[in-house]
Structure 1
Amino acid sequence: MTDFLKHSGTTLGQLKEQLGKLKGDSEQMLRIGQDVRKLQDILRAPKLRGQLGEQSLGGLLGNILPAEHFALQHTFKNGKTVDALVRLPQYSVSVDSKFPLSAFEKTAAADSDEEKTRLRRQFQSDVRKHIDKIADSYILPAEKTLDFALMYIPAENVYYETIVKYEDDKTDILEYALGRKVIPVSPNLLYAYLMTIVMGLHGMQIEKQAAQIRATLGRLAIDFSSFTSTWEILGRHLRNAQSQYDDGGSKINKFALQLEQIQQARESEQPPESAG
């Protein structure tokens, strides 16, 4: 944990002051996607899935950027419509929210390890196809987009299952996306990424800095994956400690009750004091 904090501190140090000023907004963003069960129920309907992703994305952008600095459902000259376009002084960044959740849901509902493995491969294939679609449709330097796009995953738990959880294939998906200049983001990561883009591009020549920004975002994704794993372990330790604390409290209450009963018995056995 110490090594991780030292490493990520180097990458995120320049953001500390600005993110501190936006603590209130950050806390609001952290609440997005926390109710996993309720979210999974909503995601069962394809139409609602799309609406949820677009609404979540629109709300997040509205909390961070002035209205003139982003557009929802922007249509390019090639006829493709991107869910959101972040507008910078001279360039823009495409953000897609149509993450393929159908295969993810099937994988989560699989009854056997064999079926889960098969569906996991299908899910990976669907994700790669979606990455290709984003790269081919929304990275358009001729229309003054930067040479990368963001793939918005509208729930922290789905991002965790896709990018973080599976040690044997998470790098494959992440590296494939970065190789195609598509960066996967959860709600929390998108918040940090937007701040990175706004600050990183301010006063710079964008043509020279876009590659550096993309590399920083890639490192942030890897650091976030490592932090999430550490956070999960810490959560398990805290839950175990809470369970042991509750068990100890029950034993203390029982012990106190037994002492009280013994004291009452001793008092009842004492002979009454004689008068005069």
Structure 2
Amino acid sequence: MTEALIVILIVAVLAVIVALLWLTIRSQLEGIKRAQENLSQSLQQSLISGQETVNKNLQFHSQTLEKVNNQLGQLQGSSQKIMELGGDIKSLQQILASPKLRGGLGEWSLENVLSALLPADSFALQYAFRDGKIVDALVKMPQYSVPIDAKFPLENFKKFQQSQNDADAKKLHREFLRDVQKHIDKISQSYIKPDEGTLDFAIMYIPAENVYYEAMVKTAEDTINIQDYAMGKKVFPVSPNLLYVYLMTIVMGLHGLQIEKQAAEIRQNLKALNVSFAEFGSLWDTLGGHLRHSYEKYDEGQKKLDKLVIRLEQIQNGEKQ
């Protein structure tokens, strides 16, 4: 009996121990399961967040790459334009290297300025005088004309600009001024022709401001004064900006002549109107004289008619008596 009770107690204790162990193990298993679930959720969230970050980074890098490609394309286009510009500059240098082509460039510049400022019928391009000499442009006015010739003394000017020392610079500057003098002489001798209607001066158009400045403004003390020399030859050198001023002066002169012409026409019309008024006044006076004479005759006839009526009334009254 006692042994049976002991066995039962042992079994009961073992059962309790087993139950406690089971509960402990079960609790630990549930904790492990929850930890696994939390870990799984955390890993999943981390994966999602990491994927979003990767996507954003990929998008950013893709946009950056696209911008880089665009910038490379723009850079390539700019490089192409720079190469084209370099070609244009080289072409321009080749043009300016040829005296004939430089002259053509000056004539083209002069034509553009004239076309922008003057009516088409107020100037002629490549005008030929009777001796066969051709001036680049002739600005025409009713009684006179102004010859304009484009000159581009660039050769020694370029050498002067590229000189490395003061001695070379002075020498090349004097040679440049001699070139300008030669152009002034040619214009003075060739295009001032009062017997063909020109004024007693001409304009030399220098189509570059810096060339004009070196020739006319920046004159050293030991060199000839080009302004005085040109005035003595009755030639007025002008730059593109000064040509505008000169042409505006000519335009104002043309406008003044037009106003004078219109004023002469108005005076002529007023004179004709005065003659018409005088003729009308004479006719009016004649008509007035006729009207006055007619009125006098009418008044005289009215008086005779009144007397006749009175006489008839007297006769009628006498018969009644």
Fold equivalence (TM over 0.5): yes
1:127 match: 180
Distance 2:164 2:220 in 1: 21
Structure 1 pair 73–121 and aligned structure 2 pair: CA distance change class (3 A): same
Q: CA deviation at 1:94?
A: 0.4
Counterpart residue number, 1:149: 202
Q: Which of 127, 146, 149 matches 1:74?
A: 127
Match of 1:62 in 2: 115
Structure 2 residue corresponding to 1:188, chosen from 241, 248, 258: 241
1:137 positional shift: 0.3
Q: Which residue of 1 aligns with 2:230?
A: 177
Q: Is the 8 A contact 1:57 1:97 kept in 2?
A: yes
Paired with 2:222 and 2:200, the residues of 1 have a C-alpha distance of: 26
**Maintained 8 Å contact 1:54/1:97:** yes
What's the TM-score, normalizing by structure 2? 0.49
**2 CA distance for matches of 1:105 and 1:75?**
32
Match of 1:117 in 2: 170
Aligned residue among 239, 257, 260 for 1:203:
257
Contact 1:150–1:184, Cα closer than 8 Å, also in 2: yes
The one of the two structures with greater contact order (alpha-carbon pairs below 8 A, sep at least 6) is 1
**Deviation of residue 80 (structure 1)?**
0.7
Residue-pair matches, total: 168
Return the match for 2:144 from 86, 91, 102. 91
Provide closer, same or farther for how the CA distance between residues 191 and 91 of structure 1 changes in structure 2, counting only shifts above 3 A: same
Does the CA contact (< 8 Å) of 2:102 and 2:152 recur in 1? no
Inter-CA distance 188–142: structure 2 relative to 1 (3 Å threshold): same
Larger fraction in helix: 2
CA RMSD, 1 decimal: 2.3
> Residues 133 and 169 from structure 1, CA distance in 2 versus in 1: closer, same or farther, beyond 3 angstroms?
farther
Within a 5 Å distance, the mapping from 1:127-276 to structure 2 comes to 127-168=180-221, 172-200=225-253, 202-203=256-257
Which string of whole-angstrom CA distances, capped at 9 and with x for unpartnered residues, describes residues 211-266 of structure 1? Answer: xxxxxxxxxxxxxxxxxxxxxxxxxxxxxxxxxxxxxxxxxxxxxxxxxxxxxxxx
Give the Å deviation of 1:185.
0.4
Q: Where do residues 30-45 of structure 1 align in structure 2 (5 Å cutoff)?
A: 41=93, 42-45=95-98
Give the AA of the match of 1:142. D
Alpha-carbon distance in structure 2 between the residues aligned to 1:40 and 1:104: 16
Which one has a bigger Cα radius of gyration? 2
- Asked if the contact 1:99–1:130 (Cα under 8 Å) also holds between the matched residues in 2, the reply is no
Q: Deviations 1:80-131 (Å, cap 9, x if unpaired)?
A: 1001111111211000102322221221122221111111111111211211
CA distance in 2, matches of 1:129, 1:84: 19
Does the 8 Å contact 2:128/2:135 carry over to 1? yes
CA contact (8 A) 1:99 1:151 kept: no
- Aligned to 1:166, what secondary structure does the other structure show? coil
Q: Paired residue for 1:50? A: 103
Tell me the CA shift for residue 169 of structure 1.
6.2
Local SS of the residue matching 1:154: coil
Task: Give me the whole-angstrom Cα distance separating, in 2, the residues matched to 1:135 and 1:176.
Answer: 11
Q: CA deviation at 1:47?
A: 3.1
In structure 1, runs of 5+ residues without a counterpart are 1-37, 205-276
Query: What code does the residue aligned with 2:186 have?
Result: K
